[in-house]
Amino acid sequence: MSTTAPRLPAEWEAQDGVLLSWPTPHSDWADHLEQIVPVFIELVRHISRFEQVIIVTPQPSETITTLQQADIALQRVQCYAVATNDTWSRDFGPITVFKQQQPWLYDFGFNGWGLKFPADHDNQITRKLVELAAFTAPTHLQPLILEGGSIESDGNGVLLTTSTCLLSANRNPHLKKHDIEQFFHQQFGIQKTLWLDHGYLAGDDTDSHIDTLARLCPEHTIVYVQCDDPDDEHYPALKKMEQQLQSFTTLDGAPFRLLPLPWPQAVYDASGERLPATYANFLVINKALLVPVYNDPADQKALEVLRLAFPGHELIAIDCSAVILQHGSLHCLTMQLPKGTLS
């Protein structure tokens, strides 16, 4: 890649911190606060061992008290008083690019995953954090609806995404696939966009975000969810997804190293709706990997696969049984902030 072109870093590159949006009684978590708050406490506990944690919350004093009561050291935790709709930082948080080797924060539009849910506060969070001097990196407003969970970068010019999400009529209806690829080339320095046309998870509200299905990893590796049950409703679509992944090549034309993640048992909520449990929704931080688990027999196998993909990282399992109650998982709750972005 040209040294003057913008570059979208890989998640496993050095980070300053991770952005979280704290669950509140006024969000969709109202009926599940007793279950979800302990998950957030664990996220803060583990992330703060390695880097900073930036928390947005309309109730900063209450959040700090909750963390103190859980014996969380606050030296690497910063709370900002910001109004929020929900907790999915991955999709409204800033997306960082490097220009001339310096970080820039891109602030994309967020419209509640194609106008499905209220997003008036979440769409402003990056701008509010800029006003509160949370970042040192400059911020650039982008004229596009784009969620962080919908794209994966290898840091070297390859981007992985899904056509179902990015070509959604309720996101950027004026743009065709070619237009989006040109935007990625100009703003992210992407040389090759890989479009997955198959694959979904029942209960997922995002129109098949890539971070629920397949993830780029170091050394030209892709880990992906593989359904091994022919009687499962997902089997046909995920088999087609696997076949398409097998056809993808790197910038050099070589096939990717593919590592299949196991298929957890079906999980349902109280109303009988299937929930989107996936091991692909892990978070990479400095020298560690936070992995969602679900009290499932396949949890250990998932950890073994991800240890192959990230051999130099400490693996930390986080019980995300509560997170999927609101149809997301661990990665969806977080947005990494690369080195040089934070004050």
Confidence at residue 1, expressed as pLDDT on a 0 to 100 scale: 57
Q: Which tokens hold the place of 43?
A: 């996220």
Q: How do the domains of the chain map onto residue ranges? A: 15-338
Q: What is the DSSP string of 153-176?
A: E-SSSEEEEEHHHHT-TTT-TT--
Pairing, β 52-57 against β 77-81: parallel
How many Å apart are CA 333 and CA 93, to the nearest integer? 10
How many Å apart are CA 137 and CA 276, to the nearest integer? 35
CA angle 65, 70, 74 (to 5 degrees): 65
The counts of H helices and E strands in the chain are: 9, 16
Q: If one looks up domain 15-338 in CATH, what number appears?
A: 3.75.10.10
- For helices 60-69 and 33-47, angle between their N-to-C axes, nearest 10 degrees: 70
Which residue from 202, 223, 332 is spatially nearest to 267, judged by alpha carbons?
202
How many Å apart are CA 293 and CA 330, to the nearest integer? 9
Residue 200: beta bridge partners? none
How many Å apart are CA 201 and CA 164, to the nearest integer? 12
Q: Which tokens hold the place of 101?
A: 């080797």
The one-digit pLDDT tens for each residue of the chain (343 residues) are 566 899 999 999 999 999 999 999 999 999 999 999 999 999 999 999 999 999 999 999 999 999 999 999 999 999 999 999 999 999 999 999 999 999 999 999 999 999 999 999 999 999 999 999 999 999 999 999 999 999 999 999 999 999 999 999 999 999 999 999 999 999 999 999 999 999 999 999 999 999 999 999 999 999 999 999 999 999 999 999 999 999 999 999 999 999 999 999 999 999 999 999 999 999 999 999 999 999 999 999 999 999 999 999 999 999 999 999 999 999 999 999 999 999 7
Listing from the earlier edge strand, what are the strands of the sheet with 15-21? 77-81, 52-57, 15-21, 335-338
Give residues with Cβ within 8 angstroms of 268, minimum separation 6.
Answer: 274, 275
CB burial string 189-210: b at 16+ within 10 A, e below: bbebbbbbebbbbebbbbbbbb
How many Å apart are CA 23 and CA 310, to the nearest integer? 30
Question: Of all helices (H) and strands (E), which one includes residue 104?
Answer: strand 102-109
Confidence at residue 124, expressed as pLDDT on a 0 to 100 scale: 98
pTM of the model: 0.97
How many Å apart are CA 246 and CA 209, to the nearest integer? 19
Alpha helices in the chain (DSSP H): 33-47, 60-69, 89-92, 112-115, 125-131, 163-166, 177-188, 235-247, 299-309
Give residues with Cβ within 8 angstroms of 167, minimum separation 6.
Answer: 177, 180
